[in-house]
């Protein structure tokens, strides 16, 4: 059984959604009974707001009525927490925000407090906000370019880790003269991300969090291109990821141009195994018979999970974690 109260009367250090509540309530957080804080954290940590809307609604109404909690601020703070925790990209962040807002409104919370409405119109909820919630959840899953685990060498975390070493040898101060930081972020990418509101103006590219956010934004933008999300023929997840990371490394336009040249020369660019087109050779190839530079071939193949990384480019610990057991 989980104890909901602290027998000492002292509050424990906030973790998880407790931090979200503390940020939302500010100084008033100290007055909230610990059992209420524990309940809030437990309910929100359990998953979908709508599935637990009765308990969530009771917990939020208590905080609104007794501590003047602004539910719009709470929504924003929940979204910010989930975006950071899940490393969501631009499209994933937008979907997460819309999903949480829809769930809050279904439960009767909007414009900072409690809506003056009767709760419990199942038909409206099933055809309105609940349907929107489901659609946005699917959109988040599909749009987030780096969220689907691979069955071969790398999962989401593995792609981030290996990419850091391939871009910067895991050095946040790395500077190639064109790109900087852990994930090789160019000045043009920083400008685009700033305009999109992904990072604040003047953000430091060598800050690991800033660098990661721009990296995710770039991957999402590339993943949204028609030749990746809706190619003329279906492609495997490995093929899709190879295109995304190949474009990240080589540039989207250049990668697409070479992909079309390879296709014209006879390469199967829709193969389930991206190595079939990455390593395709023909006399018309621009790179010693290949259609992509060696760096791009390796980068795309490794980060799509379809080939092993070069052991010399990773730490021994990282290589052993992802490749020695496969």
pLDDT tens, residue by residue, 173-230:
999 999 999 999 999 999 999 999 999 999 999 999 999 999 999 999 999 999 999 9
Rounded to 10 degrees, the C-alpha dihedral 225/226/228/234 comes to 170
Of residues 244, 258, 215, the one with CA closest to residue 302: 244
Helix (H, G, I), strand (E, B) or coil at 110: strand
CA distance 259 to 99: 36
| pLDDT tops 50 at residue 271 | yes
pLDDT at 259: 98
Q: Look up the pTM and report it.
A: 0.57
Tokens of 163: 């990419």
Please count the helices (runs of H) and the strands (runs of E) in the chain: 16, 4
Q: Which domains does the chain have, with CATH numbers?
A: 17-143 (no CATH), 156-322 (1.10.530)
CA distance 257 to 278: 13
Q: How far is CA 38 from CA 10, 34, 75, 201, 297, in A?
A: 13, 6, 18, 37, 50
| pLDDT tops 90 at residue 240 | yes
> Which residues are within 8 A (CB) of 42 and not within 5 positions of it... i.e. 6 or more apart?
2
* CB contact at 8 A, 4 and 35: yes
Q: Which of 3-17, 51-65, 184-198 is the least confident region?
A: 3-17
What burial class does residue 299 get, using C-beta atoms within 10 Å of its C-beta: 0-12 exposed, 13-18 middle, 19+ buried?
buried
* CB contact at 8 A, 59 and 39: yes
What b/e string do you get for 98-113 counting C-beta neighbours within 10 Å, with b at 16 or more?
Answer: bbbbbbbbbbbbbeeb
| pLDDT tops 60 at residue 8 | no
Query: Other CB atoms closer than 10 Å to residue 150's CB: what's the count?
Result: 17
Give the DSSP letter string of 135-147.
Answer: HHHHHHHHH-TT-
| Beta-bridge mates of residue 176 | none
Better-scored residue on pLDDT, 83 or 213: 213
- C-alpha 24: how far from chain center: 24
């Amino acid at each position: 059984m989980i104890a909901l109260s602290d027998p000492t009367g002292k509050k424990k250090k906030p973790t998880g959604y407790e931090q979200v509540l503390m940020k939302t309530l500010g100084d008033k957080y100290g007055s909230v009974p610990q059992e209420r804080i524990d309940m809030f954290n437990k309910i929100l940590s359990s998953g979908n707001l709508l599935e637990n809307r009765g308990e969530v609604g009771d917990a939020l109404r208590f905080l609104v009525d007794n501590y003047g909690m602004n539910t719009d601020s709470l929504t924003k703070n929940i979204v910010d927490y989930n975006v950071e925790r899940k490393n969501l990209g631009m499209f994933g962040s937008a979907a997460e925000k819309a999903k949480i807002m829809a769930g809050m409104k279904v439960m009767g919370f909007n414009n900072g407090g409690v809506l003056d409405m009767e709760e419990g119109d199942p038909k409206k909820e099933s055809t309105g906000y609940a349907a929107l919630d489901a659609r946005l959840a699917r959109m988040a899953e599909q749009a987030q370019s780096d969220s689907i685990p691979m069955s071969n060498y790398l999962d989401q975390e593995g792609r981030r880790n290996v990419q850091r070493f391939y871009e910067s040898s895991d050095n946040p101060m790395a500077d190639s003269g064109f790109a900087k930081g852990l994930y090789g972020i160019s000045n043009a990418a920083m400008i685009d991300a700033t305009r999109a509101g992904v990072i604040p103006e003047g953000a430091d590219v060598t800050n690991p969090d800033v660098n990661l956010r721009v990296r995710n934004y770039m991957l999402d933008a590339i993943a949204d291109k028609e030749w990746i999300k809706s190619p003329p023929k279906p492609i495997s997840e490995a093929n899709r990821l190879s295109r995304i990371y190949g474009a990240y490394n080589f540039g989207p336009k250049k990668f697409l141009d070479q992909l079309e040249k390879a296709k014209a020369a006879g390469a199967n660019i829709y193969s389930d195994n991206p190595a079939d087109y990455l390593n395709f050779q023909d006399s018309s190839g621009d790179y010693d018979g290949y259609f992509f530079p060696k760096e791009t071939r390796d980068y795309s193949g490794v980060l799509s999970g379809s080939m092993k990384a070069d052991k010399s480019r990773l730490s021994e610990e990282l290589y052993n974690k992802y490749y020695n057991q496969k």
